[in-house]
Chain A
Amino acid sequence: EAQVTQNPRYLITVTGKKLTVTCSQNMNHEYMSWYRQDPGLGLRQIYYSMNVEVTDKGDVPEGYKVSRKEKRNFPLILESPSPNQTSLYFCASSLFQGGYNEQFFGPGTRLTVL
């Protein structure tokens, strides 16, 4: 089944404790992206990747890191999480560049930073 998977689905952590949210797609997509969803703000892009080893900042990249060492994986890293990073996070992928293609979304990761 074609899908985007994220792990974990739920995470409660404390300020400053490094964490990684994994994202994997099995559709051989070139483009991958991370979004956060917050009430009243919709979906905002954090980082995106046009291809392996190519990543770029989205609209809200502060406090996050990403890497794209393999085509299928695009982990999101929070080196020192803070309470303002409490949010619902979505990973997405699309066949080619993200602005002209349907993006497929993972099920989401709800993160709480205490």
Chain B
Amino acid sequence: DQQVKQNSPSLSVQEGRISILNCDYTNSMFDYFLWYKKYPAEGPTFLISISSIKDKNEDGRFTVFLNKSAKHLSLHIVPSQPGDSAVYFCAAGGNEKLTFGTGTRLTIIP
């Protein structure tokens, strides 16, 4: 039972354009959401988060949007850069643990 889903295993975007990564969740008890970025041979690193009391959080080129009624969140990267090529995991939390999605491999084309 996958409670956090990333339906796009991969995504390719031209450098300079917007990258949009999507994530859906099923458990309405989740109230904290995060995005992690992972390069090969490294552990995931935290990128940005959002609490369920907000619908948007911005940090530089990265913006996370949360639509609670649709149980959907998205990560926007503008403008996309070659260094953004990585696997992105969304995660949803509540109390004791985080539940991770399956990941989306983002490739930025120069």
Partners in one complex: yes
Q: In angstroms, how far is the closest chain A Cβ from the Cβ of B86?
A: 14
Q: Which candidate, B59-67, B74-82, B97-105, is the interface stretch facing chain A?
A: B97-105
Could you tell me if B44 and A42 are in contact, using CB atoms closer than 8 angstroms?
A: no
A98 to B32, CA, bound (A): 11
Q: Can you report 12 A-B residue pairs in the complex whose CB atoms are below 8 A from each other?
A: A40-B9, A41-B102, A42-B89, A43-B100, A48-B97, A99-B94, A99-B98, A102-B49, A103-B98, A104-B46, A105-B36, A106-B43
Q: Which residues of B contact A42 (CB under 8 A)?
A: 4, 6, 89, 100-103
Q: B82-110: which have CB < 8 Å to A?
A: 89, 91, 93-103
Q: Which residues of A contact B46 (CB under 8 A)?
A: 102-104
Q: Which residues of A are at the interface with B, using a C-beta cutoff of 8 A?
A: 4, 33, 35, 40-45, 48, 50, 56, 58-59, 90, 92, 97-100, 102-108
Could you tell me if A99 and B32 are in contact, using CB atoms closer than 8 angstroms?
A: yes
A99 to B3, CA, bound (A): 14
Neighbour of A90 across the interface among B43, B93, B101, CB < 8 A: B43
A59 to B27, CA, bound (A): 15
Interface residues on B, range: 20 to 34
Most chain B beta-carbon neighbours within 10 Å: one of A105, A106, A107: A105
Q: In angstroms, how far is the closest chain A Cβ from the Cβ of B42?
A: 6
Asked whether any CB of chain A lies closer than 8 Å to the CB of B21, the reply is no
The 10 A-B pairs at the shortest CB distance, nearest first, are namely A105-B43, A99-B93, A42-B102, A43-B100, A102-B46, A99-B95, A42-B100, A99-B94, A105-B44, A100-B32
Neighbour of B89 across the interface among A33, A43, A98, CB < 8 A: A43
Residue of B nearest to A99 (CB): B93
Residue of A nearest to B47 (CB): A102
Q: In angstroms, how far is the closest chain B Cβ from the Cβ of A31?
A: 8
Q: In angstroms, how far is the closest chain B Cβ from the Cβ of A73?
A: 17
Asked whether any CB of chain A lies closer than 8 Å to the CB of B41, the reply is yes
Neighbour of A97 across the interface among B44, B91, B95, B101, CB < 8 A: B95
